[in-house]
Structure 1
Amino acid sequence: MYASQGQPARTDLGYPDEGPFRYTILPEPFLTHELTRLASAKSTLLSRPSADVRQAKVDSVTFQPCLVEEESSQDRLVLEDWEDQGALIAVFDGHAGHECADYAKDTLPGMVRASLAQTSSPSPFQTASLLANAITSIDERIKDDIISLFPGGESGLDQMSLNEVRHIVNDQDYGGTNHEKVIRGMRGSTALLSLLDSTRENLWVANLGDCQAILGTKLPSGEWKTTLLSSCHNGDNEREVQRVRDEHPGERQCILNQRVLGALAVTRALGDHSFKLPPLYTHKVFLNSNPGFRVAAKVQEFIARSHTPPYVSSTPEVCHRALESGDRFLILCSDGLKDLWHDYGANSGASAGAGAGNGNGSSVEEEWVKIVGKVMDEDTEENTNFALTLLRESLGGDDPEKVSRMVTVEMGERWMDDTTIQVVTF
């Protein structure tokens, strides 16, 4: 595809038993143009109710360079500018499929906006509750859509034959409405929502899963301070692991190999109702959906450990920040950014911090804030796409060969995780 634009080369890309794979070293400015195109890089100015309100901008990228259709990105992003109600900026990281992330992207923003419109001058606490309720309500709707397909609930489902269940679930020849409900309940998605009010005085972050929200603040000294506004809800977070264990006393395998029931990395998510509904729904409904799970045998393994669901929570953590004059930008990203940074980035090898949510930042997040802050200090015209800047650094920075390798390598399966970044400057 790129042979006529650059120099051919080969790499094992860390897979010595499977390579070498061909790639093309692209010259500038073609490399930058191609990365910008593949990442769907975009910058949007937010509306201002009056001239004395700080101008805000949202830069976004979403990147998965593998061109195989089955490996297309399951990340989704949202930017909705509601003028007098503020702006909603969100990242959804789908897993096992894109259907749940699609549903969240299409449904959650409208629910949040409607709730804001129904509440007159909500307090910061009320707004935080509104965001949390919208997220949990969406997941309840996903669950109820599945349960409603089988009258009589769990006992009614237990009495149905497999042929009856398959006829209900696999209705693609009759519109596919039932199958859509089932499939989005089988799939899962993280949810990271940020609400910036129209006055630029308040910021809320609601998080479910392992996406990250990082605030960059410029101190009077000129240095940049990093504040994490989200916690990672996964098996690496000891507090989350203990929460799951406390909710399932005596079940040693509720967390196994740092995964829920030994299978799922995140401890909070939308969808993933194999981990939330009684096992009967997985055995009779999800495993009889066509198409359904990619590897049914793995599902049988983890569902045998399910005794007292739910094991995955749909309750988000919500943070409110009264913005100060030094608060300059917010980074929202899927977990693919951290993976890229450590594996391939210009500063790969930096140790990952463990202190999510402690307000002090950790090494990798501090590096991101310093990168954006440095460019912001130097960019007098304010026309840089900061999300693209972070993506470029995570792919190799100023090393064109390293970045070219990540962009052009010819493999039949994905070689990196989906990576989505939104940077809000205010």
Structure 2
Amino acid sequence: MRRAVISTFRTARRSALRKVISKGPLFHRPAVEHALRPFHTTAARRYSNTRQAAFMQLPRTPVAIVGAISAVTAYYSLKGPSLQPQSPEQVRSLTTDAPTASPTPPVTTHDRKALVVDNDQFFTGQIVGDGPLAKDTDDRGRKVLEMLSPDQATERLRKNEQSYLVGRGKGVVRYDVVQLPSNDPIEDDHAEKIVEVPSSVAATDNGAPSSDWMFWGVFDGHSGWTTSAKLRQVLISFAARELNTTYKAAISNTKSPFPDPASIDAALKSAFVKLDNEICIESVDKVFKNPSKRLGAELLAPALSGSCALLSFYDSRSKTLRVACTGDSRAVLGRKNGKTGKWFATPLSEDQTGSNPNEEARMRAEHPGEPQVIYRGRVLGNLEPTRAFGDAAYKWSKEVQDQIRKHFFGRSPNQLLKTPPYVTAEPVVTTTKIEPSKGDFVVLATDGLWEMLTNEEVVGLVGQWVEAQNNGSSPAKSSGTAWLTSWFNSSSPSTGLPVEKGGNMDKTGKVTAENKDAGAPIRQQQWQIPDANSHSRFVVEDKNVATHLVRNAMGGKDRDMVSALLTLPSPYSRRYRDDLTVEVIFFGEGESDGVVRVNEEASSQSNGEPKAKL
């Protein structure tokens, strides 16, 4: 038998953050809706009754995933009783099933690497030989699999990427989106929609015939994917209806035909609360009136799981961007400093978790006499986000939960549950004036990205990508990025990330006395990246800027790290990274032909030819 040898050179400690469960990749492209036509909802395709796994904390002294190759090469055997390091005199080999005519070790013809995954760590090493691995586990049950090559890793990174060129002439020129699962199925989801609003619905300036309402949303599910799927289907339609009512009411106002900012914020908050009420309250009334386990599974699944939601709403008339945040997904604005030529990062949302002092104070004020309402940074010691859709276990009374468990399914109520609801879906809304002529951009992402990169790194990476397009140093610059030249004159690429320094931001986007020395994001700490503070670890290889962010979050120039993290299958991968959904919206003064086109060079063709939305 031809043999393959695994040479170990790195290890990593295990850590899982919150939300260790399963999601569903429901990828949909946006559409331009005319005159607020009715929105349609399709039923979720399937439901999950996966229980939420116990939360695990990051070890205080994690061992690095990435480090220098050890001077002493260790070898592992799948035939021996254990997978322990061997001395050079005790070298064993990993067997492949390809035959060999000679006992002489074969010459390596391909740069093949393997992963050996243990419960608390994994090892990467070299495979010698051309045959496939004979076994996928060793005698101690540890997972053994061949690591993706850099080309295969790139293919996986780009599998779900999509890019759109927006020729509406309303201040948005392009947006890119990508998803990368860690859970199986993925629990993240997203939605986008462009609504053309005639003057009969909302007043416009200078007699313009219409304006655009543009929506982008990312949804980070937990305890299953059904809640995030529900948000993808209907949240934007709920928001559009509430905004429609608010804008129409303002037209009859003789003082101003435009609604005041507080009314618009209230409309978005109302949309979120009404949808969550439908998910958690109306669903219970319906199943009790018509008790059926099949109906219960359909209606209650989005209530039993949960999801954070980040919805951005851009009004092309006022050039105003509102971001409604429920949970800990995050939006960050990138804006260029005309004097320095660098970008600076401005957080447009605040992470709403039990670790946020503002949220903790709110929760304690709403539930006096309950010292464990926030315990170890979590709601009732268990749930990290303090605001979320679904998560009915923190909203229903014990009596309701007992009835549902008795007649349908579910878990026993949390023993600390006294005065529900503890979790709300009401968002915090921020308002930002966009300057399309200056090339503003916004990054929306679930917390899987922010565990890996700081706000400044994300904005700097987008700036780096933009510079690469302008200077023709990116792969195959084409018409898909021609609009970038209207932003600024070409200049020499920056030696580092072109971003202003303002301190390392924590998950709330603020620098405080407590976190100013906290260092890198939690995953960088877990991986113990030796040059975490160096921008030299980043690379520009992708035409889709969202994919560019994910690649650099996973290791950037360190191709072994990128390949290893992408090779790890679920559930092992969840110990080292979360599901990722990233959207980047570019504002600018683009062409106005009324068409939204697929940017094919930055869009995946794996699921068939993408179609532009009209």
Identify the structure with bigger relative contact order (alpha carbons < 8 Å, sequence gap 6+). 1
1:89-238 equivalences in 2 (<5 Å): 89-118=216-245, 119-120=247-248, 121-149=258-286, 168-170=291-293, 172=294, 176=295, 178-199=296-317, 201-220=319-338, 221-238=340-357
1:274-423 equivalences in 2 (<5 Å): 274-286=393-405, 289-290=408-409, 292=410, 296=411, 299-300=412-413, 303-324=414-435, 325-326=437-438, 328-341=440-453, 364-380=454-470, 381=477, 383=481, 384-410=543-569, 413-415=572-574, 416-423=577-584
The whole-number CA distance in structure 1 between the counterparts of 2:119 and 2:461 is: 27
1:34 aligns with 2:156: yes
Check conservation: 1:21, 1:411, Cα contact below 8 A: no
SS of 2:440's partner is strand
Check conservation: 1:54, 1:200, Cα contact below 8 A: no
Could you tell me the TM-score, scaled by structure 1's length? 0.79
User: Cα gap change, 1:256/1:412 in structure 2, threshold over 3 Å: closer, same or farther?
Assistant: closer
User: Cα gap change, 1:271/1:93 in structure 2, threshold over 3 Å: closer, same or farther?
Assistant: same
User: Cα gap change, 1:250/1:315 in structure 2, threshold over 3 Å: closer, same or farther?
Assistant: same
User: Cα gap change, 1:20/1:339 in structure 2, threshold over 3 Å: closer, same or farther?
Assistant: farther
SS of 1:263's partner is coil
CA RMSD for the aligned pairs?
A: 2.6
Q: Which residue is 1:73 aligned to?
A: 186
Q: Which residue is 2:64 aligned to?
A: none
SS of 1:56's partner is strand
User: Cα gap change, 1:265/1:213 in structure 2, threshold over 3 Å: closer, same or farther?
Assistant: same
SS of 2:349's partner is coil
The whole-number CA distance in structure 2 between the counterparts of 1:374 and 1:336 is: 21
The whole-number CA distance in structure 1 between the counterparts of 2:441 and 2:238 is: 26
User: Cα gap change, 1:169/1:240 in structure 2, threshold over 3 Å: closer, same or farther?
Assistant: farther
Q: Which residue is 1:60 aligned to?
A: 177
Q: List runs of 5+ in structure 1 lacking aligned partners.
A: 152-164, 342-363
Q: List runs of 5+ in structure 2 lacking aligned partners.
A: 1-95, 97-108, 123-140, 197-210, 249-257, 471-476, 482-542, 588-614
Check conservation: 1:75, 1:420, Cα contact below 8 A: yes
The whole-number CA distance in structure 1 between the counterparts of 2:175 and 2:389 is: 25
- Which amino acid letter does the alignment assign opposite residue 98 of structure 1? W
1:9 aligns with 2:117: no
Check conservation: 1:23, 1:410, Cα contact below 8 A: no
| Offset of residue 200 of structure 1 | 7.4
- Which amino acid letter does the alignment assign opposite residue 115 of structure 1? E
The whole-number CA distance in structure 2 between the counterparts of 1:6 and 1:269 is: 46
Q: Which residue is 1:43 aligned to?
A: 163
| Offset of residue 45 of structure 1 | 2.0
SS of 2:392's partner is coil
Q: Which residue is 2:611 aligned to?
A: none
**Partner deviation per Cα, 1:148-187 (whole Å, 9 max, x = no partner):** 1477xxxxxxxxxxxxx9x9251x2xxx3x3322221111
User: Cα gap change, 1:412/1:89 in structure 2, threshold over 3 Å: closer, same or farther?
Assistant: closer
Q: Calculate percent identity across the aligned residue pairs.
A: 29
The whole-number CA distance in structure 2 between the counterparts of 1:255 and 1:368 is: 30
2:371 aligned to 241, 252, 262, which one? 252
Deviates more, 1:369-378 or 1:403-412: 403-412
SS of 2:426's partner is coil
Check conservation: 2:330, 2:445, Cα contact below 8 A: yes
- Which amino acid letter does the alignment assign opposite residue 405 of structure 1? A
The whole-number CA distance in structure 1 between the counterparts of 2:238 and 2:381 is: 34
- Which amino acid letter does the alignment assign opposite residue 134 of structure 1? A
SS of 1:321's partner is strand
User: Cα gap change, 1:287/1:225 in structure 2, threshold over 3 Å: closer, same or farther?
Assistant: farther
Could you tell me the TM-score, scaled by structure 2's length? 0.56
Normalized per residue, the structure richer in helix is 1
User: Cα gap change, 1:22/1:385 in structure 2, threshold over 3 Å: closer, same or farther?
Assistant: same
- Which amino acid letter does the alignment assign opposite residue 185 of structure 1? A
**Partner deviation per Cα, 1:292-341 (whole Å, 9 max, x = no partner):** 4xxx4xx54xx221111111122110011111344611010101112344
Check conservation: 2:222, 2:306, Cα contact below 8 A: yes
- Which amino acid letter does the alignment assign opposite residue 584 of structure 2? V
The whole-number CA distance in structure 2 between the counterparts of 1:207 and 1:5 is: 48
The whole-number CA distance in structure 2 between the counterparts of 1:370 and 1:222 is: 12
